Structure 1
Amino acid sequence: MKTILVTGGAGFIGSNFILDWYQAEPNSQVVNLDKLNYAANLANLATVAQQSNYHFVHADIGDSARLQYVLSHYQPDCIVNFAAESHVDRSINKPAAFIETNVTGTFVLLEAVRQYWQSLGADKKEHFRFLHVSTDEVYGSLTSTEPAFSETTAYAPNSPYSASKAASDHLVRAWHHTYGLPVITTNCSNNYGAFQFPEKLIPLMIVQALADKPLPVYGNGLNVRDWLYVSDHCAAIRLVLAKGKVGHSYNIGGRNEQKNIDVVTQICELLDELHPRVDGVSYKKQMTFVSDRLGHDWRYAIDASKLETELGWRAQETFATGLRKTVIWYLHNQAWLKQIQTGEYQSYLSQHKGN
């Protein structure tokens, strides 16, 4: 039985990946290691929680002793590292947690994995893989006319979050070139879909709209992002893990560039269709422009040609089809939303009411 260790598997992308993995590899063993911070939610994995081939471990990737125990006990054949602090606004307000998890935590994880990998027998050692999930934000910002980020684009992070992820990418690369650890890095564009914590743009707009609250748009709303539906991302990671070249990085993008204002507008139009306001007025009425984010990157765009050409992957969802599925999911999962709209989420909103 193949065993995969997923770090950060209770988060948005991590939990989607575990569910996707079981669809593709139902007989494999999954070990989910997560410290359960504010954005993690084990309820996302309720459909697999009781399976005998699923194991949850409550632990931090910065806990070396715990990592060594998990690795020796479960003997994973591969590791996918999603564990990270990921919200730019939070990194601006409190950067220390991002350095602790994304930089120091990655270092501790790499060291534990290196020691484990070096202890393996020849065959298992040869086929072992460590896949590090990162972001397109490490590349910095593009103008409206510059070509999309490729795997050879120089790193130029502009926020504490992106700087911490860039540092983690460099550590992963160094552990491969120095120690031979068989690593692969993926850099993805903005993800969206089911189970995303509503501090990110798309679920935040849905939640605010349904609560008849303002829909805050940073600056003039013209900043551009490439959007990747989370199931497309999960399929890409599985493919890279199986067939990607050791030591290489792969950009994963949806080829779906959208201005922020257009994203919010499309969400309003879908809600107008699927869940109209009682007064019959469009949700666009709730849109409001707020002070821009500090150091707000203008545009992100991913060139996924390497992944598409070498491994034959292509995003299956357009932004229109993926956004419709996402809005429908949130409308049909109000209980999930109510369950998480307490504690940390409310504290976050309170801190940002000035904007």
Structure 2
Amino acid sequence: MKTLLVTGGAGFIGANFVLQAVADGLHVVNLDKLTYAGNPDTLASLHGNPRHVFVHGDIGDRALVSRLLAEHRPGAVVNFAAESHVDRSIDGPAEFVQTNVVGTLALLEAARDYWRGLEGTARDAFRFLHVSTDEVYGSLGDEGKFTEQTAYAPNSPYSASKAASDHLVRAFHHTYGLPVLTTNCSNNYGPYQFPEKLIPLVIQKALAGEPLPVYGDGLNIRDWLFVGDHCSAIRRVLDGGRVGETYNVGGNAERTNIEVVEAICTLLDARRPLADRSPRSSLITFVKDRPGHDRRYAIDSRKLQGELGWRPSQTFESGIAQTVDWYLEHQPWVQRVLDGSYRMERLGS
């Protein structure tokens, strides 16, 4: 049975990955700091499962990480741990540098030392997979897509901190030989996403009949990736990716922000119409744009598709419908996030 050390495994993407991995029979040691975005409720179905060990801790704690590596002897480290909300990075960039840069450095050092102590097939098979974002590439014009050769040009404190962490991962491979892999993904959406992000935020406000805030003119474009497809791509890279390489992961689903909001409105109008039957699109309100708001992102996933045979299983239409239905069916989970009660309970280590 393969054991993984997963960091940030109580966050949105990390938790989806952990749930999928454990369901597939893998053993997961899940290290999460449980900041506001780490939600133990998401992992409730794993309570008592011997294939899941939760540890409340920080990737920056080298002694803790080293102990976990020595104790559980994982075949890979998968690093999701990161501060990831752009607006929060604008208000307080120092925390993003601390977690995304300093924390990743500490994790890399612990992984390097552990890997050096391995022998034979265990040493050859070990991998450090770093999960990153397309935002490190900056903003696209009307044409083209981000490839693995696109120059880095981050435009927010968040993306700058992720770019720095990507460079550290690359440096640890070229300097120390650590067998690393990096994935850069487009915008994720799906179950268990924290309701400060666009899609769950709009779902909740639309359900309540509240104004739906859209930055600027609403024409900023993102490539939307269903979280389950992202997790399957990470597994594919972990199993077959070439050491030292980067793989871009996209959903082949470019949409403007206003198109995303309108799609959610249409789905909710059909499933939970407002009392007066008015269309929820009438609730859309344009607000002052975010500072440094990148205009367009789009991912070219041909390398991942060609080398490892991965394809997204969801279209935007099927994925957004599943997502809306999940939030409608899991309102207690959402309400515990909104009222803060999810933070009152912590999983034991």
1:293 pairs, out of 290, 295, 307, with 290
Q: Does residue 16 of the first structure (1) align with residue 20 of the second (2)? A: no
What residue number does 2:106 align with? 108
Rounded Cα–Cα distance in structure 2 between residues aligned with 1:275 and 1:84:
35
What residue number does 1:175 align with? 172
What residue number does 1:119 align with? 117
1:43 pairs, out of 21, 41, 44, with 41
Secondary structure, counterpart of 2:282 in structure 1:
helix
Rounded Cα–Cα distance in structure 2 between residues aligned with 1:244 and 1:167:
22
What residue number does 2:345 align with? none
Q: Does residue 284 of the first structure (1) align with residue 297 of the second (2)? A: no
Give, in angstroms, the shift of residue 22 of structure 1.
2.3
What residue number does 1:254 align with? 251
Secondary structure, counterpart of 1:46 in structure 2:
helix
Count of aligned residue pairs for this structure pair:
342
Moved more, 15-24 or 182-191: 15-24
What residue number does 1:348 align with? none
1:94 pairs, out of 76, 92, 110, with 92
Secondary structure, counterpart of 2:46 in structure 1:
coil
Q: Deviations over 1:109-158 (max 9, x none)?
A: 0001101110112221110001000000000000112x100000000000
Q: Deviations over 1:185-241 (max 9, x none)?
A: 000000000000011100000011112211000000000000000000000000000
Q: Quick one: which amino acid aligns to residue 142 of structure 1?
A: L
Q: Quick one: which amino acid aligns to residue 48 of structure 1?
A: L
Q: Does residue 332 of the first structure (1) align with residue 332 of the second (2)? A: no
What residue number does 1:353 align with? none
Q: Quick one: which amino acid aligns to residue 263 of structure 2?
A: Q
Give, in angstroms, the shift of residue 91 of structure 1.
0.4
Q: Quick one: which amino acid aligns to residue 60 of structure 2?
A: G
What residue number does 1:34 align with? 32
Q: TM-score, normalised by structure 1?
A: 0.95
**Residues 1-355 of structure 1 aligned to structure 2 (within 5 Å):** 1-24=1-24, 26=25, 28-145=26-143, 147-343=144-340
CA RMSD of aligned residues (A): 1.1
Rounded Cα–Cα distance in structure 2 between residues aligned with 1:52 and 1:131:
24
Moved more, 42-51 or 330-339: 42-51
Give, in angstroms, the shift of residue 344 of structure 1.
10
Contact 1:38 1:344 in 2 (8 A): no
Q: TM-score, normalised by structure 2?
A: 0.97
Q: Structure 2: any 5+ residue segments left out of the alignment?
A: 343-349
Contact 1:252 1:302 in 2 (8 A): yes
Secondary structure, counterpart of 1:131 in structure 2:
strand
What residue number does 1:350 align with? none
Contact 2:229 2:313 in 1 (8 A): yes
- Report % sequence identity: 61
Q: Quick one: which amino acid aligns to residue 183 of structure 1?
A: V
Rounded Cα–Cα distance in structure 2 between residues aligned with 1:94 and 1:168:
18
Contact 2:22 2:51 in 1 (8 A): no
Rounded Cα–Cα distance in structure 1 between residues aligned with 2:209 and 2:272:
12
Moved more, 224-233 or 275-284: 275-284
Give, in angstroms, the shift of residue 42 of structure 1.
1.3
Give, in angstroms, the shift of residue 279 of structure 1.
1.1
Q: Structure 1: any 5+ residue segments left out of the alignment?
A: 346-355
